[in-house]
Amino acid sequence: MKHTRKMMAAVAAVYAYIRSEEDAAAIEAGIPVAAQQPAGQPVAQKHWGLSGRLDIMQWRGLMQMRTFRSHGVR
Q: How far apart are CA 36 and CA 33, in angstroms?
A: 9
pLDDT band at residue 33 using 50, 70 and 90 as cut-offs: low
Question: Is the residue at 19 inside a domain?
Answer: yes
Question: Is the residue at 18 inside a domain?
Answer: yes
Please give the average per-residue pLDDT across 26-47, as a whole number.
71
Q: Which residue has the higher pLDDT, 37 or 49?
A: 49
42-51: pLDDT as tens digits: 777 777 777 8
Contact residues for 26 (Cβ-Cβ < 8 A; gap 6+): 32, 33
Domain residues for the domain of 16 are 1-31
Question: Is the residue at 27 inside a domain?
Answer: yes
Question: Is the residue at 16 inside a domain?
Answer: yes
Q: How far apart are CA 67 and CA 62, in angstroms?
A: 6
The number of folded domains in the chain is: 1
**Cα separations in angstroms, 36 against 3, 23, 71:** 27, 12, 57
pLDDT(1) > 60: no
The whole model's pTM is what?
0.37
pLDDT(74) > 70: no
Taking every pair of C-alpha atoms in the chain, what is the biggest distance, in angstroms? 69
Q: Contact at 8 Å (CB) between 17 and 27?
A: no
